[in-house]
A = this chain, B = another copy of it.
Amino acid sequence: MSDTPDGRLPGGSGRVTMREVAALAGVSTATVSHVINDKQGVRIGPDARRRVREAVAELGYRPNLSAAALVKGESRFIGLLADSIATTPFAGAVIRGAQDEAWRLGCSLLVANTEDNAAAEAQALEMMLDHQVQGVLYSTWYHREVVVPAGLSSADHVLVNCFSSTPGVRAVVPDEGGGGRTATRILLDAGHRRIAFLNTTTPSPARTGRLAGYREALADAGVAFDPALVIDTSPEQEGGYAAGLDLPELGVTGVFCHNDRVAMGVYDALRDRGLRVPDDVSVVGFDNQEVIAAHLRPPLSTVALPHYELGVLGVRLLMGLGPAEGPDPSGDVRGAASSAGPVATDRDGIVSVICPAVPRSSVAAPPAYVLAAAQP
């Protein structure tokens, strides 16, 4: 059971070693190793196996991962380089997904926040290599093209939420087009026909992808595309406010905003123009920034990009596993969204939407999902 609580055992760290387990079980360390690692192709008698298990339990044995890593030349670590961690919830979601999947595969995540600083990036990468990571995920908090840092090629790697023009580099990215379609369809399904799209001015996959999705959804619904309804504006509250002031003259009844911050500005602008949301104009955002979407009045309908799933898929891709797989209990799409009350408060309940297709990606991205109800 437990050793004497009064003093530290002399050895390295006082922990139970495999040799002690072997001794108690009356077998050799090799046998213990085989049993513990469930080694395939090695036949161990059921009796010995049982005794080993018992000894492990009784002694409270825990493997020394450093020793295992040393002899195998490879650790059970997966590195994750993130360019941000606190500024948005997106990176956090990626990390959560990657961690959950890594744990499922018996690995640990070694996260490093680089703040998009090349020096920190290089340092973090070396640290990871020094720890013999199996591979490295390179992730960004917003979907964009990146130049793969030189050192990254020293390790097996996969890009997450970003992509590179360098051929042969695996990447997993969100389906912007699907997101744009979903957002637009929310408004179409609510009966809107004259729908503005407040797009960002920043060139990005989000800009082109969401616009394409907007147009596709309109086309699918038999609504003619009107270029006058697509307004480029800075992707913040200020941009939304400025563009929102012009909306009344356009005669639109619905607005799809490039992101939730823009939607926040639109709310303000519409209010200042004497229009009410959702009675006069319906608004749909993008990103599901919990703190905005759930707490605006009325709560904002929005589309979330599957960041958690991006993390999951990044790990799977890195480990040479296919995208989806059978029983995935944690694939609960609503999980990432549930947080505050507003979701339960809304009238029409939660709607899940599937965004198939995958732009630029070597991997299928999971569906984006929608929060709150569409505003009629």
Contacts and interface: CB of A to CB of B under 8 A. Distances in A.
Contacts of A11: 73
A39 interface: no
A165 interface: no
Contact of A89 (B72, B86, B126): B86
B130 A64 contact: yes
Given A261-B295, A295-B236, A108 B86 contact: no
Contacts of A109: 111-112
Interface in A36-81: 62-67, 69-70, 72-75
A92 B85 contact: yes
A292 interface: yes
Most B CB contacts (10 A, CB to CB) among A241, A289, A297 go to A297
Interface stretch (A93-101, A168-176, A321-329): A93-101
A118 interface: no
Given A73-B13, A89-B86, A112-B99, A129 B295 contact: no
A266 interface: no
Contact of A339 (B66, B87, B112): B87
A129 to B, nearest CB: 7
A75 B219 CA distance: 59
A261 B75 CA distance: 44
A99 to B, nearest CB: 6
B75 A86 contact: no
A131 B113 contact: no
Interface string A280-317: 00000000011110011100000000000000000000
A297 B95 CA distance: 32
A123 interface: yes
Contacts of A290: 87
Contacts of A222: none
A237 interface: yes
Contact of A65 (B99, B103, B131): B131
A332 to B, nearest CB: 13
A132 B12 CA distance: 10
Nearest to A66: B69
Given A86-B96, A237-B295, A297-B237, A126 B70 contact: no
Contacts of A289: 291
Contacts of A70: 64, 66-67, 70
A110 interface: yes
Nearest to A295: B237
A146 interface: no
Contact of A340 (B72, B236, B341): B236
A106 to B, nearest CB: 10
A130 B63 contact: yes
Interface in A224-269: 236-238, 241, 261, 264-265, 268
A30 interface: no
Contacts of A268: 297
A127 interface: yes
B130 A73 contact: no
Interface string A104-136: 000011111101000000010011011110000
Contact of A131 (B66, B74, B123): B66
9 contacts: A13-B73, A13-B74, A67-B70, A70-B70, A85-B92, A85-B96, A86-B91, A237-B295, A292-B292
Given A66-B70, A86-B89, 6 more contacts: A12-B72, A63-B130, A64-B132, A66-B131, A85-B92, A92-B92
